[in-house]
Amino acid sequence: MAKQLIDARTLKGFRDFLPDRMMLRESILETARRVYRSYGFAPIDTPALELFEVLAGKGSEETDRQMYHFRDAGDRHVGMRFDLTIPLARFVSQHSNELGLPFKRYHMATVWRGEAPQAGRFREFMQCDFDTIGTTSIVSDIETVLVVHDLFAAIGAGEFQIRVNNRKVLTGLLNRLSLAEHSTVILRSIDKLSKIGDEAVVGEITDQTGCPIDVAAEVVRLLSVTGSCREILEQLPAIAAGDPTALAGVQELEQLVSGVMAAGVSESRVAIDLRIARGLDYYTGTILETFLTAHPGIGSVCSGGRYDDLTQMFSKNPMPGIGASLGLDRMIAAMEELGLAPTQQSPVDVLIVQFDPALMTRYLQLASSLRAAGLAVELFPEARKVGQQFKYASRKGIPLVIVAGPEEFAGNRVEVKRLSDGLQTGVSTAEGSAELVTWIRKALAEPGVA
Protein backbone atom coordinates (compact mmCIF):
# COMPACT_ATOMS: atom_id res chain seq x y z
CA MET A 1 0.00 0.00 0.00
CA ALA A 2 2.64 2.48 -1.13
CA LYS A 3 1.62 6.08 -0.56
CA GLN A 4 1.65 8.48 -3.49
CA LEU A 5 4.70 10.74 -3.10
CA ILE A 6 4.02 14.46 -3.21
CA ASP A 7 6.13 16.76 -5.34
CA ALA A 8 8.28 18.89 -3.03
CA ARG A 9 7.96 22.37 -4.52
CA THR A 10 7.22 25.95 -3.53
CA LEU A 11 4.39 28.04 -4.94
CA LYS A 12 5.12 30.20 -7.97
CA GLY A 13 6.53 33.55 -6.84
CA PHE A 14 7.54 32.16 -3.44
CA ARG A 15 10.96 30.94 -2.38
CA ASP A 16 12.98 29.27 0.32
CA PHE A 17 15.90 30.91 2.06
CA LEU A 18 18.90 28.62 2.36
CA PRO A 19 21.41 29.31 5.15
CA ASP A 20 23.70 31.60 3.13
CA ARG A 21 20.90 34.02 2.21
CA MET A 22 19.18 33.62 5.55
CA MET A 23 22.34 34.51 7.45
CA LEU A 24 22.66 37.65 5.31
CA ARG A 25 19.01 38.48 6.04
CA GLU A 26 19.51 37.96 9.77
CA SER A 27 22.60 40.13 9.69
CA ILE A 28 20.82 43.02 7.92
CA LEU A 29 17.81 42.71 10.24
CA GLU A 30 20.12 42.77 13.25
CA THR A 31 21.83 45.90 11.92
CA ALA A 32 18.49 47.60 11.26
CA ARG A 33 17.27 46.67 14.75
CA ARG A 34 20.37 48.16 16.33
CA VAL A 35 20.24 51.40 14.30
CA TYR A 36 16.47 51.87 14.72
CA ARG A 37 16.74 51.32 18.47
CA SER A 38 19.69 53.70 18.76
CA TYR A 39 17.31 56.50 17.68
CA GLY A 40 14.56 55.44 20.07
CA PHE A 41 12.37 53.42 17.72
CA ALA A 42 10.69 50.53 19.52
CA PRO A 43 9.59 47.27 17.87
CA ILE A 44 5.97 46.25 17.33
CA ASP A 45 4.27 43.45 15.46
CA THR A 46 0.79 43.07 14.02
CA PRO A 47 -1.02 40.01 12.63
CA ALA A 48 -0.35 38.75 9.12
CA LEU A 49 -4.12 38.48 8.70
CA GLU A 50 -6.42 41.46 9.11
CA LEU A 51 -10.10 41.99 8.45
CA PHE A 52 -10.50 42.67 4.73
CA GLU A 53 -12.22 45.99 5.45
CA VAL A 54 -9.13 47.17 7.36
CA LEU A 55 -6.83 46.54 4.39
CA ALA A 56 -9.05 47.23 1.35
CA GLY A 57 -9.17 50.58 -0.35
CA LYS A 58 -6.27 52.02 1.64
CA GLY A 59 -3.39 51.44 -0.72
CA SER A 60 -3.69 51.79 -4.48
CA GLU A 61 -6.00 49.95 -6.89
CA GLU A 62 -2.98 47.78 -7.57
CA THR A 63 -2.52 46.70 -3.96
CA ASP A 64 -6.25 45.90 -3.70
CA ARG A 65 -6.00 43.72 -6.78
CA GLN A 66 -2.85 41.99 -5.54
CA MET A 67 -4.08 41.28 -2.02
CA TYR A 68 -4.43 37.68 -0.87
CA HIS A 69 -7.88 37.55 0.68
CA PHE A 70 -10.41 34.84 1.45
CA ARG A 71 -13.21 33.81 3.78
CA ASP A 72 -11.97 32.00 6.88
CA ALA A 73 -13.65 29.02 8.58
CA GLY A 74 -15.82 31.48 10.52
CA ASP A 75 -16.90 33.13 7.22
CA ARG A 76 -14.98 36.32 8.02
CA HIS A 77 -13.54 38.12 5.01
CA VAL A 78 -9.83 38.33 5.81
CA GLY A 79 -6.74 39.55 3.95
CA MET A 80 -2.98 39.09 4.23
CA ARG A 81 -1.15 42.38 4.84
CA PHE A 82 0.51 43.82 1.73
CA ASP A 83 2.45 46.53 3.54
CA LEU A 84 3.20 47.62 7.10
CA THR A 85 1.72 51.11 6.85
CA ILE A 86 -1.97 50.22 6.94
CA PRO A 87 -1.42 47.85 9.88
CA LEU A 88 0.43 50.73 11.59
CA ALA A 89 -2.51 53.06 11.02
CA ARG A 90 -4.88 50.46 12.47
CA PHE A 91 -2.48 49.78 15.37
CA VAL A 92 -2.02 53.45 16.29
CA SER A 93 -5.78 54.08 16.17
CA GLN A 94 -6.56 51.00 18.25
CA HIS A 95 -3.92 51.55 20.93
CA SER A 96 -3.78 55.36 20.98
CA ASN A 97 -4.49 55.49 24.73
CA GLU A 98 -1.62 53.16 25.59
CA LEU A 99 1.06 54.51 23.29
CA GLY A 100 1.60 58.18 24.09
CA LEU A 101 2.85 60.60 21.46
CA PRO A 102 5.23 60.97 19.77
CA PHE A 103 5.28 57.26 19.03
CA LYS A 104 8.38 55.89 17.31
CA ARG A 105 8.12 52.33 16.10
CA TYR A 106 9.92 49.93 13.82
CA HIS A 107 8.29 46.91 12.25
CA MET A 108 10.24 44.32 10.29
CA ALA A 109 7.91 41.74 8.85
CA THR A 110 6.75 39.76 5.85
CA VAL A 111 4.12 41.10 3.45
CA TRP A 112 2.35 39.40 0.54
CA ARG A 113 1.36 40.67 -2.89
CA GLY A 114 0.07 38.50 -5.72
CA GLU A 115 2.15 40.32 -8.33
CA ALA A 116 2.88 38.81 -11.70
CA PRO A 117 6.15 37.03 -10.94
CA GLN A 118 9.15 38.50 -12.74
CA ALA A 119 12.90 38.67 -12.18
CA GLY A 120 13.56 39.94 -8.67
CA ARG A 121 9.86 40.29 -7.82
CA PHE A 122 8.38 37.92 -5.28
CA ARG A 123 4.92 37.45 -3.85
CA GLU A 124 6.34 37.27 -0.34
CA PHE A 125 8.93 39.74 0.88
CA MET A 126 10.08 41.60 3.97
CA GLN A 127 9.81 45.26 4.77
CA CYS A 128 11.71 47.05 7.53
CA ASP A 129 9.75 50.19 8.33
CA PHE A 130 10.39 52.87 10.92
CA ASP A 131 8.07 55.79 11.57
CA THR A 132 7.71 58.71 13.97
CA ILE A 133 4.03 59.40 14.60
CA GLY A 134 2.36 62.40 16.20
CA THR A 135 4.75 65.25 15.51
CA THR A 136 5.37 67.65 12.63
CA SER A 137 8.77 68.72 13.98
CA ILE A 138 11.59 68.93 11.43
CA VAL A 139 13.70 67.06 14.00
CA SER A 140 11.89 63.90 12.95
CA ASP A 141 12.65 64.58 9.29
CA ILE A 142 16.33 65.09 10.12
CA GLU A 143 16.42 61.92 12.22
CA THR A 144 14.73 59.91 9.48
CA VAL A 145 17.58 60.78 7.12
CA LEU A 146 20.14 60.09 9.88
CA VAL A 147 18.65 56.65 10.52
CA VAL A 148 18.84 55.78 6.83
CA HIS A 149 22.40 57.08 6.77
CA ASP A 150 23.53 55.06 9.79
CA LEU A 151 21.73 51.99 8.46
CA PHE A 152 23.44 52.06 5.08
CA ALA A 153 26.81 52.93 6.62
CA ALA A 154 26.47 49.83 8.81
CA ILE A 155 25.05 47.30 6.33
CA GLY A 156 28.20 47.17 4.24
CA ALA A 157 26.83 47.40 0.70
CA GLY A 158 29.32 50.12 -0.20
CA GLU A 159 28.75 53.82 -0.77
CA PHE A 160 25.25 55.23 -1.08
CA GLN A 161 23.37 58.44 -1.60
CA ILE A 162 20.18 59.60 0.09
CA ARG A 163 18.24 61.84 -2.30
CA VAL A 164 15.80 64.17 -0.62
CA ASN A 165 13.06 66.39 -1.90
CA ASN A 166 9.95 68.04 -0.52
CA ARG A 167 6.47 67.55 -1.92
CA LYS A 168 5.63 71.16 -1.13
CA VAL A 169 8.23 72.31 -3.64
CA LEU A 170 6.64 70.12 -6.31
CA THR A 171 3.08 71.09 -5.35
CA GLY A 172 3.94 74.79 -5.27
CA LEU A 173 5.59 74.54 -8.66
CA LEU A 174 2.55 72.86 -10.19
CA ASN A 175 0.29 75.46 -8.54
CA ARG A 176 2.29 78.26 -10.06
CA LEU A 177 2.08 76.66 -13.53
CA SER A 178 -1.68 76.10 -13.05
CA LEU A 179 -1.24 72.33 -13.12
CA ALA A 180 -2.47 71.64 -9.57
CA GLU A 181 -5.50 69.64 -10.70
CA HIS A 182 -3.23 67.24 -12.59
CA SER A 183 -0.69 66.83 -9.80
CA THR A 184 -1.31 63.09 -9.22
CA VAL A 185 -0.76 62.27 -12.87
CA ILE A 186 2.25 64.56 -13.18
CA LEU A 187 3.96 63.28 -10.00
CA ARG A 188 3.68 59.74 -11.33
CA SER A 189 5.26 60.84 -14.59
CA ILE A 190 8.07 62.66 -12.80
CA ASP A 191 8.88 59.43 -10.98
CA LYS A 192 9.72 57.91 -14.35
CA LEU A 193 12.31 60.56 -15.32
CA SER A 194 15.29 58.37 -14.49
CA LYS A 195 13.76 55.41 -16.33
CA ILE A 196 12.26 56.81 -19.54
CA GLY A 197 14.03 60.17 -19.84
CA ASP A 198 12.95 63.83 -20.05
CA GLU A 199 11.40 63.78 -23.50
CA ALA A 200 9.15 60.84 -22.81
CA VAL A 201 7.97 62.37 -19.55
CA VAL A 202 7.19 65.69 -21.28
CA GLY A 203 5.20 63.70 -23.82
CA GLU A 204 3.35 61.81 -21.11
CA ILE A 205 2.46 64.98 -19.22
CA THR A 206 1.12 66.74 -22.32
CA ASP A 207 -0.79 63.62 -23.38
CA GLN A 208 -2.38 63.07 -20.02
CA THR A 209 -3.10 66.65 -18.92
CA GLY A 210 -3.60 68.43 -22.22
CA CYS A 211 -1.20 71.19 -21.17
CA PRO A 212 1.02 72.89 -23.77
CA ILE A 213 4.29 71.12 -24.46
CA ASP A 214 6.34 74.13 -23.34
CA VAL A 215 4.65 74.09 -19.92
CA ALA A 216 5.40 70.39 -19.48
CA ALA A 217 8.97 71.01 -20.62
CA GLU A 218 9.24 73.87 -18.11
CA VAL A 219 8.23 71.50 -15.29
CA VAL A 220 10.90 69.00 -16.27
CA ARG A 221 13.51 71.74 -16.78
CA LEU A 222 12.88 73.26 -13.35
CA LEU A 223 13.25 69.88 -11.70
CA SER A 224 16.52 69.19 -13.45
CA VAL A 225 18.66 71.52 -11.38
CA THR A 226 21.85 69.77 -10.30
CA GLY A 227 24.76 70.46 -8.00
CA SER A 228 25.67 70.15 -4.33
CA CYS A 229 22.97 70.67 -1.71
CA ARG A 230 24.31 74.17 -1.13
CA GLU A 231 24.21 75.03 -4.85
CA ILE A 232 20.69 73.72 -5.27
CA LEU A 233 19.47 75.49 -2.14
CA GLU A 234 20.74 78.75 -3.65
CA GLN A 235 18.70 78.19 -6.81
CA LEU A 236 15.54 76.99 -5.09
CA PRO A 237 14.04 80.38 -4.20
CA ALA A 238 14.10 81.30 -7.90
CA ILE A 239 12.39 78.01 -8.78
CA ALA A 240 9.78 78.57 -6.05
CA ALA A 241 9.22 82.03 -7.58
CA GLY A 242 7.27 83.42 -4.67
CA ASP A 243 4.79 80.55 -4.33
CA PRO A 244 4.21 80.26 -0.58
CA THR A 245 3.81 76.46 -0.60
CA ALA A 246 6.99 75.98 -2.59
CA LEU A 247 8.85 78.42 -0.34
CA ALA A 248 7.73 76.51 2.76
CA GLY A 249 9.11 73.37 1.12
CA VAL A 250 12.38 75.12 0.35
CA GLN A 251 12.71 76.20 3.96
CA GLU A 252 12.10 72.64 5.18
CA LEU A 253 14.71 71.32 2.77
CA GLU A 254 17.18 73.88 4.08
CA GLN A 255 16.53 72.89 7.71
CA LEU A 256 16.68 69.22 6.82
CA VAL A 257 19.99 69.43 5.00
CA SER A 258 21.63 71.69 7.58
CA GLY A 259 20.48 69.44 10.43
CA VAL A 260 21.77 66.33 8.72
CA MET A 261 25.12 67.98 8.00
CA ALA A 262 25.38 69.26 11.58
CA ALA A 263 25.03 65.68 12.80
CA GLY A 264 28.15 64.80 10.84
CA VAL A 265 26.86 63.24 7.62
CA SER A 266 29.27 63.55 4.70
CA GLU A 267 28.11 65.84 1.88
CA SER A 268 28.60 63.10 -0.69
CA ARG A 269 25.92 60.98 0.93
CA VAL A 270 23.04 63.44 0.73
CA ALA A 271 21.70 65.11 -2.39
CA ILE A 272 18.71 67.29 -3.14
CA ASP A 273 16.95 65.77 -6.15
CA LEU A 274 13.77 67.52 -7.28
CA ARG A 275 13.01 64.59 -9.56
CA ILE A 276 12.19 62.38 -6.58
CA ALA A 277 8.39 62.53 -6.48
CA ARG A 278 7.17 59.23 -4.94
CA GLY A 279 4.04 59.74 -6.98
CA LEU A 280 2.19 56.69 -5.73
CA ASP A 281 2.36 57.63 -2.08
CA TYR A 282 0.44 60.08 0.02
CA TYR A 283 3.39 62.19 1.10
CA THR A 284 3.02 65.86 1.91
CA GLY A 285 6.47 67.14 2.90
CA THR A 286 9.95 65.63 3.00
CA ILE A 287 10.42 62.66 0.65
CA LEU A 288 13.52 60.53 0.22
CA GLU A 289 15.00 57.69 -1.76
CA THR A 290 18.30 55.88 -1.25
CA PHE A 291 20.58 54.52 -3.96
CA LEU A 292 23.61 52.27 -3.86
CA THR A 293 26.46 53.97 -5.70
CA ALA A 294 27.69 50.68 -7.15
CA HIS A 295 24.23 49.59 -8.28
CA PRO A 296 21.96 52.58 -9.00
CA GLY A 297 20.03 50.53 -11.57
CA ILE A 298 18.30 48.45 -8.91
CA GLY A 299 16.45 51.60 -7.88
CA SER A 300 15.78 53.04 -4.45
CA VAL A 301 16.53 50.53 -1.69
CA CYS A 302 15.06 52.67 1.09
CA SER A 303 12.30 55.22 0.56
CA GLY A 304 9.92 57.25 2.64
CA GLY A 305 8.53 60.60 3.52
CA ARG A 306 6.27 62.79 5.61
CA TYR A 307 2.50 62.47 5.64
CA ASP A 308 -0.24 64.63 7.18
CA ASP A 309 -2.62 61.98 8.37
CA LEU A 310 -1.78 58.33 8.82
CA THR A 311 -5.02 57.26 10.43
CA GLN A 312 -7.69 59.06 8.42
CA MET A 313 -9.52 55.83 7.62
CA PHE A 314 -9.85 54.93 11.30
CA SER A 315 -10.03 58.20 13.21
CA LYS A 316 -11.09 61.82 12.93
CA ASN A 317 -7.97 63.03 14.74
CA PRO A 318 -5.27 63.81 12.18
CA MET A 319 -2.11 61.90 12.92
CA PRO A 320 0.96 63.30 11.14
CA GLY A 321 4.22 61.46 10.87
CA ILE A 322 7.26 60.53 8.85
CA GLY A 323 8.92 57.25 8.09
CA ALA A 324 10.90 55.18 5.67
CA SER A 325 11.14 51.55 4.68
CA LEU A 326 14.16 49.44 3.84
CA GLY A 327 13.38 47.01 1.03
CA LEU A 328 15.20 44.06 2.50
CA ASP A 329 14.84 41.77 -0.51
CA ARG A 330 15.99 44.43 -2.95
CA MET A 331 19.00 45.08 -0.72
CA ILE A 332 19.84 41.37 -0.67
CA ALA A 333 19.42 41.17 -4.45
CA ALA A 334 21.76 44.14 -4.88
CA MET A 335 24.37 42.60 -2.59
CA GLU A 336 24.15 39.34 -4.53
CA GLU A 337 24.64 41.12 -7.84
CA LEU A 338 27.56 43.09 -6.39
CA GLY A 339 29.23 39.93 -5.10
CA LEU A 340 28.85 41.11 -1.51
CA ALA A 341 26.58 38.28 -0.35
CA PRO A 342 28.39 35.59 1.63
CA THR A 343 28.39 32.02 0.32
CA GLN A 344 29.02 30.32 3.66
CA GLN A 345 26.23 27.85 4.45
CA SER A 346 27.01 27.56 8.16
CA PRO A 347 27.48 29.90 11.12
CA VAL A 348 30.14 27.58 12.54
CA ASP A 349 33.62 28.84 13.48
CA VAL A 350 35.17 25.45 14.08
CA LEU A 351 34.23 21.84 13.37
CA ILE A 352 35.44 19.19 15.81
CA VAL A 353 36.20 16.03 13.84
CA GLN A 354 34.89 12.89 15.52
CA PHE A 355 37.94 10.66 15.25
CA ASP A 356 37.08 8.01 17.81
CA PRO A 357 33.58 7.50 19.30
CA ALA A 358 35.18 6.24 22.53
CA LEU A 359 36.38 9.82 23.11
CA MET A 360 32.83 11.24 23.04
CA THR A 361 33.07 12.68 26.54
CA ARG A 362 36.27 14.53 25.64
CA TYR A 363 34.74 15.92 22.43
CA LEU A 364 31.63 17.09 24.27
CA GLN A 365 33.73 18.78 26.95
CA LEU A 366 36.00 20.43 24.40
CA ALA A 367 32.98 21.73 22.47
CA SER A 368 31.38 23.07 25.68
CA SER A 369 34.51 24.92 26.70
CA LEU A 370 34.82 26.60 23.29
CA ARG A 371 31.13 27.54 23.27
CA ALA A 372 31.53 29.06 26.73
CA ALA A 373 34.10 31.38 25.12
CA GLY A 374 31.49 32.50 22.59
CA LEU A 375 32.53 30.38 19.63
CA ALA A 376 30.13 28.51 17.34
CA VAL A 377 31.25 24.88 17.43
CA GLU A 378 29.96 21.86 15.58
CA LEU A 379 30.86 18.35 16.70
CA PHE A 380 30.55 15.98 13.75
CA PRO A 381 27.92 13.45 14.89
CA GLU A 382 29.47 10.34 13.37
CA ALA A 383 33.00 8.88 13.35
CA ARG A 384 33.25 8.93 9.56
CA LYS A 385 36.54 9.06 7.69
CA VAL A 386 38.47 12.22 8.57
CA GLY A 387 38.60 13.19 4.89
CA GLN A 388 34.81 13.07 4.67
CA GLN A 389 34.48 15.28 7.71
CA PHE A 390 36.95 17.79 6.24
CA LYS A 391 34.96 17.77 3.02
CA TYR A 392 31.78 18.49 4.98
CA ALA A 393 33.46 21.50 6.65
CA SER A 394 34.80 22.75 3.36
CA ARG A 395 31.47 22.40 1.58
CA LYS A 396 29.64 24.35 4.28
CA GLY A 397 32.32 27.05 4.43
CA ILE A 398 33.37 26.25 8.00
CA PRO A 399 36.77 27.96 8.35
CA LEU A 400 38.51 25.83 11.01
CA VAL A 401 38.71 22.16 11.92
CA ILE A 402 39.97 20.52 15.13
CA VAL A 403 41.31 16.97 15.01
CA ALA A 404 42.11 15.03 18.18
CA GLY A 405 42.52 11.31 18.77
CA PRO A 406 43.64 9.27 21.78
CA GLU A 407 47.25 10.41 21.37
CA GLU A 408 46.36 14.11 21.31
CA PHE A 409 44.04 13.92 24.31
CA ALA A 410 46.63 11.87 26.22
CA GLY A 411 49.14 14.67 25.54
CA ASN A 412 46.59 17.39 26.41
CA ARG A 413 46.67 18.97 23.00
CA VAL A 414 44.64 19.19 19.80
CA GLU A 415 45.49 19.82 16.15
CA VAL A 416 43.67 22.78 14.61
CA LYS A 417 43.70 23.70 10.92
CA ARG A 418 42.48 26.58 8.81
CA LEU A 419 40.97 25.20 5.62
CA SER A 420 41.45 28.25 3.39
CA ASP A 421 45.24 28.01 3.40
CA GLY A 422 46.15 24.88 5.38
CA LEU A 423 47.61 26.84 8.29
CA GLN A 424 47.86 24.23 11.02
CA THR A 425 49.21 23.90 14.53
CA GLY A 426 49.12 21.81 17.67
CA VAL A 427 47.74 23.71 20.67
CA SER A 428 48.10 22.65 24.28
CA THR A 429 44.92 22.20 26.31
CA ALA A 430 46.82 21.33 29.48
CA GLU A 431 45.60 24.46 31.24
CA GLY A 432 42.13 24.59 29.72
CA SER A 433 41.07 25.90 26.34
CA ALA A 434 42.22 29.55 26.70
CA GLU A 435 45.24 29.08 24.41
CA LEU A 436 43.10 27.28 21.83
CA VAL A 437 40.47 30.04 21.93
CA THR A 438 43.17 32.65 21.35
CA TRP A 439 44.56 30.75 18.35
CA ILE A 440 41.05 30.29 16.90
CA ARG A 441 40.15 33.95 17.27
CA LYS A 442 43.35 34.97 15.55
CA ALA A 443 42.88 32.46 12.73
CA LEU A 444 39.31 33.70 12.20
CA ALA A 445 40.35 37.36 12.16
CA GLU A 446 43.37 37.06 9.87
CA PRO A 447 42.54 36.75 6.20
CA GLY A 448 43.62 33.34 4.92
CA VAL A 449 46.18 33.09 2.13
CA ALA A 450 44.18 32.15 -0.95
Which positions from 385 through 404 interact with its own copies, judged by CB under 8 A?
392, 395-396
| Nearest to 349, CA basis, from 365, 373, 332 | 373
- Choose the stretch contacting its own copies; rule: CB under 8 A; options: 154-162, 196-204, 241-249, 370-378: 370-378
Residues 6+ apart with CB under 8 A from 170: 183, 187, 190, 223, 249, 274, 277
Rounded Cα–Cα distance for residues 329 and 178 (Å): 40
Establish if 142 lies at the interface with its own copies (CB under 8 A): yes
Sheet containing 124-133: which strands, arranged edge to edge? 42-43, 103-112, 124-133, 321-327, 302-307, 286-292, 160-166, 270-272
Pair type for strands 103-112 and 42-43: parallel
Which one of 1, 11, 410, 450 is in contact with its own copies (CB under 8 A)?
Answer: 11
Please state the closest distance from residue 192 (CB atom) to its own copies, in A: 27
What amino acid occupies position 374? Answer: G
Which one of 185, 294, 379, 423 is in contact with its own copies (CB under 8 A)?
Answer: 379
Please state the closest distance from residue 340 (CB atom) to its own copies, in A: 19
Please state the closest distance from residue 10 (CB atom) to its own copies, in A: 6
With respect to its own copies, which residue has the nearer C-beta, 136 or 175? 136
Pair 230, 254: CB distance under 8 Å = no
- Convert 326-376 into a string of H (helix), E (strand) and C (coil): EEHHHHHHHHHHCCCCCCCCCCCCEEECCCCHHHHHHHHHHHHHHHHCCCC
With respect to its own copies, which residue has the nearer C-beta, 262 or 449? 262
Residues touching its own copies, count (CB under 8 A): 106
Establish if 407 lies at the interface with its own copies (CB under 8 A): no
Length of the chain (residues): 450
- Choose the stretch contacting its own copies; rule: CB under 8 A; options: 106-114, 187-195, 277-285, 407-415: 106-114
Pair 318, 309: CB distance under 8 Å = yes
- Choose the stretch contacting its own copies; rule: CB under 8 A; options: 32-40, 288-296, 328-336, 405-413: 32-40
With respect to its own copies, which residue has the nearer C-beta, 139 or 238? 139
Which one of 61, 75, 97, 100 is in contact with its own copies (CB under 8 A)?
Answer: 100
- Choose the stretch contacting its own copies; rule: CB under 8 A; options: 3-11, 184-192, 278-286, 439-447: 3-11
Establish if 42 lies at the interface with its own copies (CB under 8 A): yes
Which one of 1, 61, 73, 410 is in contact with its own copies (CB under 8 A)?
Answer: 73
H/E element, 391: helix 386-396
Residue 102: cis peptide before it, omega within 30 degrees of 0: yes
With respect to its own copies, which residue has the nearer C-beta, 228 or 345? 345
Subset of residues 264 to 323 that bind its own copies, contact rule: CB under 8 A = 264, 311-316
Establish if 177 lies at the interface with its own copies (CB under 8 A): no
Rounded Cα–Cα distance for residues 316 and 248 (Å): 26
Establish if 49 lies at the interface with its own copies (CB under 8 A): yes
Pair 105, 148: CB distance under 8 Å = no
Rounded Cα–Cα distance for residues 386 and 377 (Å): 17
Please state the closest distance from residue 376 (CB atom) to its own copies, in A: 5
Establish if 230 lies at the interface with its own copies (CB under 8 A): no
Please state the closest distance from residue 92 (CB atom) to its own copies, in A: 8
